[in-house]
Amino acid sequence: MNSLFENNKFRGLSLLFVILILILSVVAYLELQSCEYILRIICIPTLMILYYLNSVSKSKIFLFSLLMATVSNILFIPNDIFYLKYGLIAFLIYRIITLFIVLKSSPKLAFFSVAIGSIFFLFPLLYFIILIEESMGESFFVGLINIILVSILGGMALTNYLLESNLKHISLLASTLLYTFLVLLFVIQKYFLHISIFNPLRVILLMAAHYIFCMYVLLVENEKSISNVKL
C-alpha cells in the first residue's frame, strides 16, 4: 500500500488537485461564478486522471461515478431549485455507485451492525432535511434518498473501521464524515445562514471527500492485487 504514496504520478497529481482546490476555494469566496464553473469542470476530472494512472483495475463504473460527481458539482453552483434537483439526481447516481463499491469490498459486513451504525448518521441529517422540506420543493424526495444512502454508507464505514482500523477503512470513514458535514453545511447555508466563508469551506469539504474516497478505492484495488499475487 505504501507504494501508492511513493508513486510520483500519485504525488504529483495529488499536489495539482490540492492547488486547484485552493484556487477554487478563493474563487468561491469571491463569488466569481464564471471562474468557478471552469474550475469545477476541471477539478474532479483531474481526480479521474489521478485514479486512472494509479489504478490497477481502472474501474469504468468508478470513473462514471466521478463523472456524475462532476455534473452535480456544476449544477450546485446556481442558487436555483431547478438545477438543485438535477444536481441531487446526479449526486444520487454517484452515491449509489460508491455504495456498491464499498459493499463489494466489504464481505465481512453484517446487516445489523450496519443498521446500528447508520442511525448515528441518519438522525441529524434527517432532522435537517425535514426542516427544509418546503424550501426544497420537488427536490425533497431525491434529497431524502441521498440522506438515507449517505447514512448507510456511514454505517458501513463505521462498521468496517471497528472491525479493522487500517488506512483503507480510516479513509472510508473520513470521506463519509466529510460528506455528512457537507450536507449539514449545505442546508445551513442555503436555507438558514448565508455566510461567505461557507462557500470555500463547502468546496474544500466536497473535494477532500472525493479525494479521500478515491484513495480508499485505490487502496482496496492495491490490496486485492497484492492478495492475488500471493495466491
pLDDT value for 230: 55
Alpha carbon distance 63, 134 (integer Å): 34
pLDDT value for 147: 86
Q: Which residues contact 38 (CB under 8 A, 6 or more apart)?
A: none
Contact by Cβ (8 Å): 92, 148: no
Residue 192, H or E segment:
none
Q: Which amino acid is at 96?
A: I
pLDDT value for 96: 93
pLDDT value for 127: 79
* Domain boundaries of the chain, sorted by first residue: 2-230
pLDDT value for 183: 79
pLDDT value for 198: 82
Alpha-carbon separation of residue 117 from 28, 123, 154 (angstroms): 34, 11, 7
State which residues of the chain have pLDDT below 50: 1
pLDDT value for 31: 80
Alpha carbon distance 147, 158 (integer Å): 16
Torsion on CA atoms 215, 22, 94, 49, rounded to nearest 10: -60
pLDDT value for 190: 67
